Amino acid sequence: MYQKILVLLLVGGFCLIGPIQSVQAQTANKILPDKIKYKTKKKDGWFPDLKVGFNFSFAQSDGVVGVQDGTTLSLGLQLSGSLVYTKRTHEWRTTLGLIHTQTKLPTLEPFVKSADKLDLETIYVYRLPKVKWFGFFVGLKMETPILPGFLLKSDDVTLQIKEPTEKTYKPFAEKPKLAGQEGFQLTNAFAPLALKQALGLDFLPLNHSVLRVNIKAGVGAVQLFAQNGLRIDADKSATDKLIQLGRLQDYVQIGAEARLNAGGSAFKKLLSYSLSTGVMLPFYSSVTNGKSIPELINFDLAFKLGIQVFKWLAINYALNITYAPLIVPEKFQVTNNLVLSLTWNVL
C-alpha cells in the first residue's frame, strides 16, 4: 500500500517539475539573446611607452679587388617613447624620438655621425563630447641634432664661405686650407635647433588599431637657432679640392600650417607603420634672402616601417624628407635609415 502511494507521488512530482523547467527555459531564452555583444570603453589615465634599440655592423677587408682596404664600423642608437593622458574628451600626448649613428669608414680615421636627430613633441587636444572626431589642439615641438657636426676629408681641401650679406663665395680667412683627416666643425651641439608652435582645428576621421588618421590645420610658428653654423653648399673636392660653405641664419616665421598623421599596426603588432607630413606657408618671415612668400614654403615628411621579428629583435626603416629654403636653399634634405636593431621594451 505504501509502495503504491510513493510511486504515485514520484510520478506526479516529475509531471509537475517538467513543465516548470520548460517555462523557465523559455523565459530565460527570451531574456538573454543568442549572441551577447560586449561594449568596450577606452580607459582614462596615463599610458607610458618606451623602446630602446641598438644596432651594430662591422666589415673588414684587405687586398680584396675593388674594395677599399680597411674597416667599416657602424654603431647606432634608437629611442622612441610616448606618454599619453586621456580623460573623457581631453587628450594630452607627448612623444620622444631619437636616431643617432656613428660610422667609421676605411678612408677616414675618426668616426663621423651619419644620422643624428632628436624630436620632442607635446600636443593637447580637446574633442567635442558629441562629435568625437572634431576638436581643437595646441602643440609644441623641438627638433635638433644632439652632437656637433664636422667636415672630414681624406685629403687636403680649400674652404670657401659665403656670408648672408655676400653674393659670392670668398676664401675662409681663418682657415683656407683643411688638412686631410682633420675635422672642421660646422655646427655646435644642439644646433641648428628649431622650436615650433601650432594651434587650430583637429580632425580624427579614422581611429582604429590598423589605421589611425589625424588631420590638423591652423596657425604655426617656427624659431630657428643656428648658433652661427655652416652648411655645405658645394663639394668639388673630387676635382679642384674645393668646398663651398654657407652661413646658417637665425629666423622667425609665422604662417598657415596643415599636417596629416597616419599610422597603425597589423598582424598582432608584428608590423607597424606611420606617416607624418606637413606644410607651412609663412605670411611673416624675419629673413627672406630675396625670396617671395611662396618660395619660403616649408615641407616635411617622415615615414617609418617596423617589423618585430622577435620581442628583442626588430627591423626598422625610416625616411625623412625636409624642405626648408632658409636652411638649405633649393634643395631637399633626405635621410634613409635601415637598421637591424636589438630592442628593449622599457615600459
Output the pLDDT for position 9.
40
In angstroms, the CA 66 to CA 254 distance is 52
pLDDT band at 173 (very low <50, low <70, confident <90, very high): low
Q: Return the beta strands (E) in 8-111 as ranges.
A: 45-61, 70-87, 90-104
Output the pLDDT for position 172.
65
Q: Return the beta strands (E) in 208-266 as ranges.
A: 212-225, 230-235, 242-247, 251-266
Q: Which residue is listed with cell 621579428?
A: 309
Cα three-residue angle 105-111-116, rounded to 5 degrees: 110
**The C-alpha cell of 160 is what?**
670657401
How far CA 35 is from CA of 22, 39, 301, in Å, comes to 21, 13, 46
Buried b or exposed e, range 156-184, using 16+ CB within 10 angstroms? ebbbbbbeeeeeebeebeeeeebeeeebb
Q: What is the pLDDT of residues 293-326, one digit of tens each?
A: 889 999 999 999 999 998 888 888 989 999 999 9
Conformational region of residue 269, where left means phi above 0, alpha means psi within -120 to 50, and beta covers everything else: left
Within 10 A of 280 (CB to CB), how many other CB atoms are there?
Answer: 23
Ranges of each domain in the chain: 45-137+189-226+252-345
Output the pLDDT for position 42.
55
Among candidate residues 141, 59, 147, the one with its CA nearest the CA of residue 99? 147
Q: What is the dotted CATH code of the domain comprising 45-137+189-226+252-345? A: 2.40.160
Q: What is the pLDDT of residues 195-244, one digit of tens each?
A: 999 999 999 999 998 999 999 999 999 999 999 999 998 887 767 788 98
Provide the mean pLDDT of the chain: 84
Among candidate residues 248, 246, 247, the one with its CA nearest the CA of residue 224? 248
DSSP conformation class of 147: S
In angstroms, the CA 30 to CA 16 distance is 22
ω before 192 within 30° of 0 (cis)? yes
